Amino acid sequence: MKTKTVGIIGSGAWGTGLAQALARGGNEVQLYTHSADVAETINREHENTKYLKGFPLSEKVTASCDIAEVADDKDFLFLASPSIYLVQNVKHILNVPSIARGRANIGILTKGFIPPESLCSCGNTDGTSDKNTEAEPKLIVETLESLLPEHFKHNLVYVAGPSHAEEVALGKLTGLITASENPQNAIMFRDFLRVPGLMVYSSFDVIGVQVCAAVKNVIAIVYGMLDAVAEDSEIFGDNAESLLLAAGLNEIQTLGFAMGATHAETFTSISGVGDLDVTCKSKYGRNRRFGHDIIKTDILSKFKNLDDLIANISSIGYLPEGAVACKYVAQIAEKRHLRLKICNGLYKILDREIEPEDFLTDLLIRG
């Protein structure tokens, strides 16, 4: 197979892990990072010591701080920026020739939702929460279609699945889903991503796959809280954790269908139950870790409310995407009159309205 050139916008753990997997398949991969130190360690030491420390990288993986250089004229381009930075980074590549002319094959790795104020540069400036803003948060693909040239509408490919970056980097067996409204593009990305260690399947349920990828991080924070409480509890154990997992999957499915998911099997496949299971249970899970820290280290005491947490999320030292997604899930649920007890409960915990132990007791014992 001919060597392909790949650009990945975002040098976090997932983008770096996938870069290593694609390099293992013989491809030349270039990562974009805003940090000169990250670029230097990748290029000189062949390791991303900030975001994926301890995992050697192929010499076929390089990094650059020039976002246009990484984005332009690649056989495949992946967007892997965290949701809170995605719109800003995409705006910086709109004039890149291959994108402006509609010649790029774009895959999306980012999980979460995009608030409407990210597109209009407006919104609250006083640090307060507002679940009643006029427009509800948008899914990733819908947002990018509104930003990118017209050619990309219905042609973007969303990539998700139970895929912790550490195991992907090591070449351990991992399943992925490529979802697109364009069947040919879904299959093209599926076939390209089938490198050693990756089993990849295609889907046309773009909305369902995105909702699974975003909301499983919310459920994983609650799972981490329960896991921490269970360590010293005579009430909570493995059975309670399975109960939470099943209830969380129901909430993901409820939100997914409300937003336009088309296939029930999306939620019972690797993009649904598979991704939820590994995110909740894996030792690598940052969202699970954050939930654990809520109980064990009282990490929320550093923040006034959820908006303060999001504004200062870098101070945590790792990125729990579910904390950001939680705010937007709560907004969508309120606007659509959805009963999402787990997601809304976490919103209130992160907004410092209720205590986590009280919420878990109410959720799992009182029902």
127 pLDDT higher than 90: no
Distant-in-sequence, close-in-space partners of 91: CB < 8 Å, separation ≥ 6: 147
Cα 243 vs. chain centroid, distance in angstroms? 24
Q: Which helix (H) or strand (E) holds 40?
A: helix 36-40
Quick: pLDDT tens for 343-352. Answer: 999 999 999 9
23 versus 124: which is more confidently predicted? 23
109 pLDDT higher than 60: yes
216 is an active site residue:
yes
Q: What is the pTM of this model?
A: 0.94
Distant-in-sequence, close-in-space partners of 160: CB < 8 Å, separation ≥ 6: 109, 111, 176, 177, 179, 209, 210, 212, 213, 271, 275
Q: Which of 60, 111, 216, 327 is catalytic?
A: 216
The answer to whether the beta carbons of residues 86 and 108 sit under 8 Å apart is no
Quick: pLDDT tens for 300-349. Answer: 999 999 999 999 999 999 999 999 999 999 999 999 999 999 999 999 99
pLDDT of residue 220: 98
Quick: pLDDT tens for 147-185. Answer: 999 999 999 999 999 999 999 999 999 999 999 999 999
Distant-in-sequence, close-in-space partners of 126: CB < 8 Å, separation ≥ 6: none
Quick: pLDDT tens for 286-300. Answer: 999 999 999 999 999
Return the biggest CA–CA distance within the chain.
62
pLDDT of residue 116: 84
